[in-house]
Amino acid sequence: MWISESIILMLLLYFTSILLLSLFKPTYIEHRKAYLFRCLFPSWKFYEDLCYEPILFYRSSKDGVTFDDWQQAIKKIPRNWRNFFVNPKGNLIHAYNSLLLQVESDKEDFSGTSVNEFSSSVSYQLAKNLAELLARENNLGGQFLQFKLTSTMQGNSSDYEDTLISLVHKVQ
């Protein structure tokens, strides 16, 4: 009996300490190596609060000067219970969204510098690859491509701001 009481007491202490720790502002490790190995350091704060999420837009041009209208690059997909076990499209969109969040975060580290300088970063290049891939998939015509990230408040599409407008890229 005393064993189960001790276990319950220890559990109580453990979860009380979590509760107390949650009152303090968390500190984040910003080292890039730790970031790359973050699968070893779980964060359990899922869907903590509404936030600004980046949305990718692109537009094409035949001559690199006159562009078509901006179009949202990542389209919402239909639900399907058949994808419950294996959901490649759904998880791919989650991965695209994580990539865009990372691009936005890395862009902040480049604040004060031009898009030209940021364009050499891995994040920018990956976003460019993404825009190109989606342009190919969606048969976006034109020889030139430009993309932008618009930060939009979840659930409030009228609250938005452009956070990155890319250089003009020749479609490969």
Partner 1 sequence: MTSFVALLWAQKLIAIAIIFQTLELGLIRETYSDRGVWRWETLKEEFRIFSKFHQSILNFTLNYNSFCILLIIRLVLAFLLLFFSSPIILSLLLVSTILISLRWRGTFNGGSDYVTVLMLYSLTFASFANSSETIENAVLWYITLQIISSYFISGIVKLKNNNWRTGKALKGFLASTIYQDSKLTNYVREKKVLLVVISWAVMLFEVFFVTALLSPQVCLVFLSFALLFHLANYYFFGLNRFFFSWLSCYPAIYYCSSLT
Binding site for partner 1 (CB under 8 A): 3-4, 7-8, 11, 14-15, 18-19, 22, 32-33, 35-40, 42-50, 53, 76-79, 83-88, 90-99, 102, 122, 125-126, 129-130, 133, 153-156
Closer by beta carbon to partner 1, 50 or else 115: 50
For the CB of residue 50, give the shortest distance to partner 1 in the complex, in Å: 4
**C-alpha distance from residue 89 to each of 74, 84, 86, 149, 152 (Å):** 11, 11, 9, 21, 23
Closer by beta carbon to partner 1, 14 or else 115: 14
Closer by beta carbon to partner 1, 95 or else 115: 95
Closer by beta carbon to partner 1, 115 or else 133: 133
For the CB of residue 171, give the shortest distance to partner 1 in the complex, in Å: 12
For the CB of residue 145, give the shortest distance to partner 1 in the complex, in Å: 14
Exposed / middle / buried, residue 33 (Cβ in 10 Å: 0-12, 13-18, 19+): exposed
| Three-class secondary structure of residue 86 per DSSP | coil
Distance CA 58, CA 148 (A): 6
For the CB of residue 23, give the shortest distance to partner 1 in the complex, in Å: 9
Contact present, 50 and 153 (Cβ < 8 Å): yes
Distance CA 129, CA 35 (A): 22
Q: What's the farthest any 2 CA atoms get from each other in the chain?
A: 80
